[in-house]
Structure 1
Amino acid sequence: MWLSGARLVLPDRVLTEGSLRLEGERIAEVREGFVPSGMDLRGFTVVPGLVDLHGDSLERELEPRPGVRLPLELALPSWELRQLAAGITTVYATVAFWEGAGGVREPDQGLRLAQELWGLRSALHVDLRIHARYEVSRPQGEPAVREALRKGWVHLLSFMDHTPGQGQFHDLETYVRYMARHHGRPEAEVYDEVKRLSTRATWEGLEALAAEALAKSIPLASHDDDTPDRVALMARLGVTVSEFPVRLEAAKEAKVRGMTVVMGAPNALRGGSHHGNLSALDALREGLLDALATDYLPEAALRAPFRLAAQGLLDLPLALALVTRRPALAVGLADRGALAPGLRADLVVLKESPFSVLGAFVAGKPVFVGGELAHALA
């Protein structure tokens, strides 16, 4: 099947008018110009499907209000449509193991969610993978993480540390206010819980958990790195991805150590962190930014690269690589993330003005079609 006449964003250049030939699940050929026998996509832009290493949006689908938990089979279809409508074809949905966080982030709930996702993922169009997030300040969650690893339900494991006074939360008061607001709980209750539950995972425990993941070829990430020393500690565990470093010196250390530095796409789109931490744009200007992840807003992932290109900070192929090829390579998915022969035909069809995603192909099949693209397919 030919997709003909679209503006194609290739790894090294943009074709004003180009065509793609799909064979089965793969891209078979890329050709400049219009192929008359193909699906006419003139006036549209085609880019690779996005690879998101950190997406928290499923949590909000499952818990649209504090204390309200929806069944996964009810929340998952609308969540999947949101991913595809944002251009995301491979998503590492986050599953937290965080004792005392409440709701879906509790370790027992995280384990149950991982099991349910594993059972349902084959029925989805999007390539759903599980990003297990272990809160090291609450080691009570470690047994559940180990169980998920042993069951084979984890594709990416990250270590996060929300201990007040470091990382994302500079002091206890900031942490308490945020958690109370986020979970709809009284501040006094959150404060008492912090005092009761906060301990520290032992180095031996973290090392054993990391070794177990690496033995299964599961990549490791760190979260909210704030100092070079913390980055060095994570590197000793075998961590290769530093997501959302909160200070410039931490990002620099991660880069020196060969880690993939991932920042938030909403951060890049907004021009700064909503917590006042490191700006994705500053990381980019310093040559430290390797990839962007959706964090809490799927729709930011595709818009951010186009915004960076429009601002003259990167050319469009390099900007799009931040959400396609580079995150894919960071976790060993060398089969996707670019419009190139031999790679998976994960594609997004969009209009640039007004900006909108009109369709998505996953492994060569059109799985999301809307607006004007529906007429092209008719």
Structure 2
Amino acid sequence: MTPLDVTIAGARVLGPAGLSDAPLALAGGRIAARPAGREVALPGCTVLPGIIDLHGDGFERHLAPRRGLVSDLTRGLAALDAELAASGITTAVLAQFWSWEGGMRSPDFARRLAAALEEARPHLLTDMVIQLRLETHLTDQFGEVAEFVARHGIGYVVYNDHLPHEALRKGRTPPRLTGQALKSGRSPAAHLELIRALAARDPEVPGALAALSARLRDMGVRLGSHDDPDPARRAMMRDLGVAISEFPETMEAARAARAAGDAVILGAPNVVRGGSHAGKMQARAAVAEGLCDALVSDYHYPAPAAAAAALAPDGGAGAWHLLSSGPARVMGWKDRGGLTPGARADLAILGPSGLVEATIAAGRIAFARGHVARALFG
């Protein structure tokens, strides 16, 4: 699809200095410094930078519409492309596990997804990249992980630890053991044996993570940690060069991250719901305290735009930096995140109702409906 050459007029446009009624020109897939092409009048609309979603796992529903039923991944990614665009998301980081948990969280599925995404990418409108969520106790696979990251150009790795340590310490059967075992294709007994064997690696994990982290940092990979429970865990991760705290569980962990200059990523569904579904930290409180660099979709792609609207009475524009320039800064992406000349023409256009009516990704129409569709297509 050829990028648009147009000048949007009559809308509110969120620029570096805030909202204004200045026209916005697009040419050659970039924001242009002067008027270009035909004029498209969008009165009553708000033009915002496209959403950069740094952590979403809702893609699993497109790739496996029912548990255990993995569809054609290429067609699933095309369907995901449509949902992302309908949600105003122009850059999506797919949070894919490399885990002992099996199923769609297995190393084999990570390989399948990476291969399918490379095949599908020329046909997609939104920009999709992979975040690898690595389980910290798979120490025997760290070399393979580094090779996988290099082979597929993955620029973001997040450390996870889903082992039920507390239950194992108390000699109890871990919660959800049978369901996890069935999902992984193991018997409950075999799954429990695997979990215990992995937990026994506790003493070797710090050294193995340090070596892997150094290797990944040398490759230019950004590192994050998931669910930091407290300042001690955040400090341990920071010592490894892990500068992104993803979904810290407590205000103390988030404050420790901010005090050290680490980036903090929080879930937009937490903002929309008014709290964590797991009873953890309230994201709204952290945002109000200035402890958030980016809000992400987590498990629900419409959530970022809804969260911005919940946080800012101007339709979300006052909180939109948490969906655009903030995430871009976390990842070091200088070509997106704002509507400045030379940047990628990534736009989310809200209609008079405040809902996403069009998404333009690298100058191409990825989604359009209603008032904006009529203006764009005449």
* 2-structure distance, mates of 1:14, 1:277: 34
1:189-229 deviations in Å (ceiling 9; x for gaps): 66555335434462232122212221121111111001111
1:121 aligns with 2:124: no
Q: 2:260 pairs with 257, 260, 269, which one?
A: 257
Residue 266 (structure 1) shift: 0.4
1:285 aligns with 2:284: no
| Amino acid across the alignment from 1:6 | A
Q: Give % identity.
A: 36
Residue 75 and residue 260 in structure 1: after superposition, are their counterparts in 2 closer, same or farther (change >3 A)? Answer: same
Q: 2:15 pairs with 10, 13, 21, which one?
A: 10
Question: Number of residue pairs matched?
Answer: 367
Q: Is the 8 A contact 1:95 1:114 kept in 2?
A: no
Which position in structure 2 is the counterpart of 1:368?
367
Residue 8 (structure 1) shift: 1.4
* 2-structure distance, mates of 1:171, 1:77: 46
1:28 aligns with 2:27: no
* 1-structure distance, mates of 2:82, 2:27: 25
* 2-structure distance, mates of 1:173, 1:194: 12
Q: Is the 8 A contact 1:159 1:223 kept in 2?
A: yes
| Superposed counterparts of 1:310-325, under 5 Å | 310=313, 316-325=316-325
| Superposed counterparts of 1:1-378, under 5 Å | 1-15=6-20, 17-29=21-33, 38-99=39-100, 101-165=101-165, 176-177=175-176, 180=179, 191=192, 193-198=194-199, 199-200=201-202, 202-310=205-313, 316-353=316-353, 355-377=354-376, 378=378
Matched position secondary structure for 2:33: strand
Matched position secondary structure for 1:202: helix
Matched position secondary structure for 1:282: helix
Q: Is the 8 A contact 1:115 1:153 kept in 2?
A: no
* 2-structure distance, mates of 1:251, 1:173: 31
* 1-structure distance, mates of 2:96, 2:129: 10
1:316-340 deviations in Å (ceiling 9; x for gaps): 5441000100101110101111122
Which position in structure 1 is the counterpart of 2:3?
none
Residue 41 (structure 1) shift: 0.9
* 2-structure distance, mates of 1:337, 1:371: 25
Residue 62 (structure 1) shift: 1.5
The unaligned stretches of length 5 or more in structure 1 are none
Residue 30 and residue 106 in structure 1: after superposition, are their counterparts in 2 closer, same or farther (change >3 A)? Answer: same
* 1-structure distance, mates of 2:291, 2:311: 15
Q: Is the 8 A contact 1:271 1:281 kept in 2?
A: yes
Residue 342 (structure 1) shift: 2.5
TM-score normalised over the length of structure 2: 0.88
| More moved, 261-270 vs 356-365 | 356-365
Residue 130 and residue 173 in structure 1: after superposition, are their counterparts in 2 closer, same or farther (change >3 A)? Answer: farther
1:235-273 deviations in Å (ceiling 9; x for gaps): 111112111000111111111111111100101111110
* 1-structure distance, mates of 2:91, 2:321: 14
Residue 244 and residue 175 in structure 1: after superposition, are their counterparts in 2 closer, same or farther (change >3 A)? Answer: farther
| Amino acid across the alignment from 2:175 | V
| More moved, 115-124 vs 186-195 | 186-195
Residue 70 and residue 215 in structure 1: after superposition, are their counterparts in 2 closer, same or farther (change >3 A)? Answer: same
* 2-structure distance, mates of 1:308, 1:204: 42
Q: Is the 8 A contact 2:44 2:352 kept in 1?
A: no
* 2-structure distance, mates of 1:265, 1:298: 9
| More moved, 114-123 vs 244-253 | 114-123
Residue 175 and residue 346 in structure 1: after superposition, are their counterparts in 2 closer, same or farther (change >3 A)? Answer: farther
| Amino acid across the alignment from 2:59 | L
Matched position secondary structure for 1:328: helix
Q: Is the 8 A contact 2:132 2:156 kept in 1?
A: yes
